[in-house]
Structure 1
């Protein structure tokens, strides 16, 4: 689960910003929103949700993009001569030479933090630490310039272990994260020392599989796997509560002969490239393709509606409304959270959560998510939905504001910094401009 994220010099973020999901120590309301992600560490607590508000162009989406950038840097492969897609803050006469990112998270019994500092040429600095309650352990620290390489670790003991991992670090591409490089090489993974490998694997698994970022125009890729393992059939129970007209959800296997050979070959290439199932469109329909024991299988999701007489009619994804499709992207948050084990708690980050959703449905969604027991994962969203600004629904430390400052930079701060009364109408106060993060219109 996500504990804290920081970014500096990325898009509209110039000075460091921090999204901290640790609960404020003095807040006592909505205790069920506070989770203990590691059973044996009762001192570590995180919040189930965070909502980020802000005017258009305030930079709230850039916070999500910063998280996505860090994730992709770690889990994606790069050619050794490929540039890093570096996006520093541009509106300044005194630009910074590099961007910095910090992500602190938990997975299983691991409490880890990864720091990256980079420019378009290389990852200049990378550090992974593990926290055991109050004690910090350096898993590795890697510093790189054009002519210099330094590697440190507190967990590697023997000279052979130190030489092996230091050599891997020295000869790994400088434009990639060290975690990503060694996690995507099966032979290297097999040879990692037991004192080192589990930390690397845990960090990579969280960043690749447990951190799920959904943008307004993108689709939640996890639906692909949900189609294959049957989880998607459980979505019907949740989707009915949102008045979509969908009675049930089914999956149909499609014959490969339906598609051209060139399309099948492209799909095979995409599956191999991403090492997972993929979604694609063909003739205005959406399909999921996967590799099942060396054979390509293609499935289509079918939504069944009933008329007043009980007759069933089949719809495809493209037949449904934008609002329904958006809900289908979000429903896995509820379904997965209900089924997750303690060791697999995911962090869903949704940009423009309220896109195409009626305010009442947005609130219902949060009510359902927050009512789930402590097995639930996390949900972090950006939104304009003022109807959710209600202290009967949320804690003060779960509400954040992204503000566009006079110098075009983005700042981020919590409602808890204002110390508002528990009975205050924070929706009205926000729309009246008390907390900033609203459009400054002329007239």
Structure 2
């Protein structure tokens, strides 16, 4: 569970920006829960306000945790994207901090980088409410865990950590037996899941979805949330089934020998069948539709991009809800109908369907999520954030709670009227100029037609 995220000097984020996910209003908590972070948080704002850059900063942090040793080996530096709209920021450092709650223990992990190296890095745990240093790093100087066993394991890792690699990544790859370190790394690698326009481009390749489905089924079994999403989407899909197909490694293999006809090696008995115990399998998803003449099935490969997107969301849902992870979606409204987006939000708000307190964090232009469904707020007051950009191109982030909203106020209408800011200021000058040119052109064309008629 993500409690707090802070970042500075990343793309349009110039100064420190904080996404604080602690609950503000006890009365808005989902009934029967005592979660220390909100289960849902959405960022709203005008185009190019920097909403996606907040998500991108968190994605960058996760990518560096998972891949920094590989990037260091390739000599790619830190691959950061600092603020570029002044002469100072590109030469200043960028930093990223995430506060997490994992198995009842709070952790704070962060790092500071420039274009070439890791300048500082740290991991603190709070098992009894008091800060405990797991490790601290200042350039190439390290201070490691308090226990003798942890100190010995981490000191060995510190000696081989490159200046442009994260110590957390190196320790995890070395499998240093430090529980707190392993938990934080695992959260970034397995429990933090991203969806959005970048990942949607992969939906044209069904084998990616099937690979994800196979991986998910091997770990967790049948994706139960898929049925809920398909029904909520009202696609006319009654149900689904997953077929496990045993692959024959020699099927359709016909080696060509120069100067000789094609030979079916398997049929000729030139190869011995692979034992069934080691034969690979693949999973095929079939969706049952309601047709005019009854039910019929289609494979996932024959479905629309929209249906594939829902399958992808279902797989991500299973991954995070099964262990209390965090699903981060950039542009939630880009691939889901508003009713389906509201359904997804409601799923995370429901402790029965979300027993481990998984989180949904997203950006969106869909202001209907600020309204109500069946008389209940879709998003609570402490789950709404706004992004805006000042005249210097710098993004800021602020919560609805700063305005001390009443529980019963119409937040959708107030946002659209500009009461909370973070809405575009429309300048009609360009549109009027176009209309004026169009009018002049229209008059000229009409004059030409009249002249032709007279001729």
Q: TM-score range by the shorter chain?
A: 0.7 to 0.9
Structure 2 CA distance, aligned partners of 1:313 and 1:366?
29
2:79 paired residue number:
85
Which has the higher Rg, Structure 1 or Structure 2? 2
Question: How do 1:124-163 and structure 2 match up within 5 A?
Answer: 124-144=119-139, 149-157=140-148, 162=151
Q: CA deviation at 1:54?
A: 1.3
1:324 paired residue number:
307
Query: Deviations along 1:269-313, whole A, 9 cap, x unmatched?
Result: xxxxxxxxxxxxxxxxxxxxxxx9986543332222131332313
2:16 paired residue number:
16
Does the aligned pair in 2 maintain the 1:4–1:20 contact within 8 Å?
A: yes
Structure 2 CA distance, aligned partners of 1:88 and 1:34?
43
Q: CA deviation at 1:107?
A: 1.7
Does the aligned pair in 1 maintain the 2:388–2:395 contact within 8 Å?
A: yes
Q: Is it true that 1:198 corresponds to 2:176 in the alignment?
A: no
Structure 2 CA distance, aligned partners of 1:129 and 1:23?
22
Structure 1 CA distance, aligned partners of 2:192 and 2:153?
30
Q: Is it true that 1:59 corresponds to 2:45 in the alignment?
A: no
Structure 2 CA distance, aligned partners of 1:438 and 1:258?
59
Structure 1 CA distance, aligned partners of 2:40 and 2:332?
13
Q: CA deviation at 1:235?
A: 1.8
Query: Deviations along 1:17-69, whole A, 9 cap, x unmatched?
Result: 11111011xx23332179545xxxxxxx1111101111111111111111111
Structure 1 CA distance, aligned partners of 2:406 and 2:252?
61
Against the structure 1 CA distance between its residues 71 and 237, is the aligned structure 2 distance closer, same or farther, given a 3 Å change threshold? same
Q: Is it true that 1:98 corresponds to 2:93 in the alignment?
A: yes
Q: Is it true that 1:176 corresponds to 2:165 in the alignment?
A: yes
Q: CA deviation at 1:314?
A: 1.2
Query: Deviations along 1:313-346, whole A, 9 cap, x unmatched?
Result: 31424x33333332222234555566x3xxx211
2:405 paired residue number:
420
Q: CA deviation at 1:258?
A: 7.5
Against the structure 1 CA distance between its residues 175 and 35, is the aligned structure 2 distance closer, same or farther, given a 3 Å change threshold? farther
- Give the TM-score normalised by structure 1: 0.79
1:352 paired residue number:
331
Does the aligned pair in 1 maintain the 2:2–2:326 contact within 8 Å?
A: yes
Structure 1 CA distance, aligned partners of 2:406 and 2:156?
57
Structure 2 CA distance, aligned partners of 1:362 and 1:259?
44
Against the structure 1 CA distance between its residues 55 and 2, is the aligned structure 2 distance closer, same or farther, given a 3 Å change threshold? same
Structure 2 CA distance, aligned partners of 1:104 and 1:260?
53
Structure 2 CA distance, aligned partners of 1:427 and 1:234?
29
Q: Is it true that 1:68 corresponds to 2:44 in the alignment?
A: no
2:420 paired residue number:
435
Against the structure 1 CA distance between its residues 133 and 59, is the aligned structure 2 distance closer, same or farther, given a 3 Å change threshold? farther
Structure 1 CA distance, aligned partners of 2:229 and 2:391?
44
- Give the TM-score normalised by structure 2: 0.77
Structure 1 CA distance, aligned partners of 2:120 and 2:213?
35
Query: Deviations along 1:119-173, whole A, 9 cap, x unmatched?
Result: 12111100000013531111110111xxxx2111352347xx6465334213212
Against the structure 1 CA distance between its residues 240 and 90, is the aligned structure 2 distance closer, same or farther, given a 3 Å change threshold? same
- Segments of 5+ residues of structure 2 without an aligned counterpart are 201-208, 255-275, 429-455
- Segments of 5+ residues of structure 1 without an aligned counterpart are 38-44, 262-291
Q: CA deviation at 1:363?
A: 1.8
2:366 paired residue number:
385
Structure 2 CA distance, aligned partners of 1:361 and 1:234?
13
Secondary structure of the residue that 1:135 maps to in structure 2?
Answer: coil
Structure 2 CA distance, aligned partners of 1:326 and 1:439?
29
Query: Mean Cα displacement is larger for which, 344-353 or 359-368?
Result: 359-368
Secondary structure of the residue that 1:46 maps to in structure 2?
Answer: coil
Secondary structure of the residue that 1:3 maps to in structure 2?
Answer: strand
1:308 paired residue number:
292
Against the structure 1 CA distance between its residues 234 and 31, is the aligned structure 2 distance closer, same or farther, given a 3 Å change threshold? closer
Structure 1 CA distance, aligned partners of 2:164 and 2:32?
38
Does the aligned pair in 2 maintain the 1:254–1:300 contact within 8 Å?
A: no
Does the aligned pair in 1 maintain the 2:225–2:318 contact within 8 Å?
A: yes
Q: Which has the higher helix share?
A: 2
Structure 2 CA distance, aligned partners of 1:34 and 1:176?
43
Q: Is it true that 1:185 corresponds to 2:179 in the alignment?
A: no
Q: CA RMSD in A?
A: 2.7
Secondary structure of the residue that 2:136 maps to in structure 1?
Answer: strand
Secondary structure of the residue that 2:334 maps to in structure 1?
Answer: coil
Against the structure 1 CA distance between its residues 223 and 62, is the aligned structure 2 distance closer, same or farther, given a 3 Å change threshold? farther
